[in-house]
Amino acid sequence: MAGPRIPHPTLKGPNVVKEIAIGVVLGLAAGSVWKMHQLSEQRRVRAFYDMLNKGEITVVAQEE
């Protein structure tokens, strides 16, 4: 009296190549976002020091 056979799904292991590709893509995306942020900050700092050297701005508060 054997019951009906139920097909069980076969479990597959992780696809290593796919996981490496996903990791590389996510790493490159995060790296490019960080690099754009870093370059933007560098531009702001350079503009600040250029204006400071030209005398357009000062870091000393004026006394009134």
Map out the domains of the chain as residue ranges.
Answer: 18-64
**pLDDT for the residue 33:** 98
Q: What per-residue confidence (pLDDT) applies to 14?
A: 81
d(CA 61, CA 8): 76
Structure confidence at residue 50 (pLDDT):
96
3-62 pLDDT, tens digit per residue, is 678 777 777 778 899 999 999 999 999 999 999 999 999 999 999 999 999 999 888 877
Q: What was the pLDDT predicted at 1?
A: 55
First to last CA, the chain: 102
Q: What is the pLDDT, as a whole number, of residue 63? A: 77
